[in-house]
């Protein structure tokens, strides 16, 4: 088995963990959205209270990159698995 197939075999066994990671990243987005709305409305209730808080809440945008990559990998793994099972069922039918 080559390294690519070995990686996907390992990743497919970890899909639940990937979905949990995506869920956590999406839940982190909630305070970020509130903070962002506060900036847009210029109320200053949440935003511009402390520069470290602003920096952390702004940085949440960057963590979305992990979620986007992870969703792509999950979709690829599921499509690959579905194709493999379809090929196997076609072989059995013949």
Average of per-residue pLDDT across 50-63: 85
Domains of the chain: which residue ranges?
A: 24-87
Q: Is the pLDDT of residue 27 over 70?
A: yes
The model carries a pTM of 0.63
27 Cβ neighbours under 8 A, 6+ residues apart: none
Average of per-residue pLDDT across 8-14: 86
| Helix extents (H) in the chain | 3-12, 15-41, 51-93
Average of per-residue pLDDT across 78-87: 86
User: Are the CB atoms for 57 and 30 separated by under 8 Å?
Assistant: no
pLDDT at 3: 92
What CA–CA distance (Å, rounded) separates 33 from 10?
34
Find, among 63, 58, 5, the residue nearest to 32 by Cα.
Answer: 58
């Amino acid at each position: 088995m080559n390294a690519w197939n070995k990686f996907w075999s390992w990743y497919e066994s970890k899909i639940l963990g990937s979905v949990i990671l995506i869920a956590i990243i999406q839940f982190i987005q909630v305070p970020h959205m509130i903070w962002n709305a506060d900036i847009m409305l210029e109320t200053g209730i949440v935003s511009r209270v402390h520069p470290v808080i602003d920096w952390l809440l702004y940085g949440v945008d960057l963590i979305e990159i992990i979620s986007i990559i992870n969703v792509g990998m999950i979709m690829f793994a599921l499509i690959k698995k579905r194709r493999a099972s379809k090929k196997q069922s076609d072989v059995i039918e013949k």
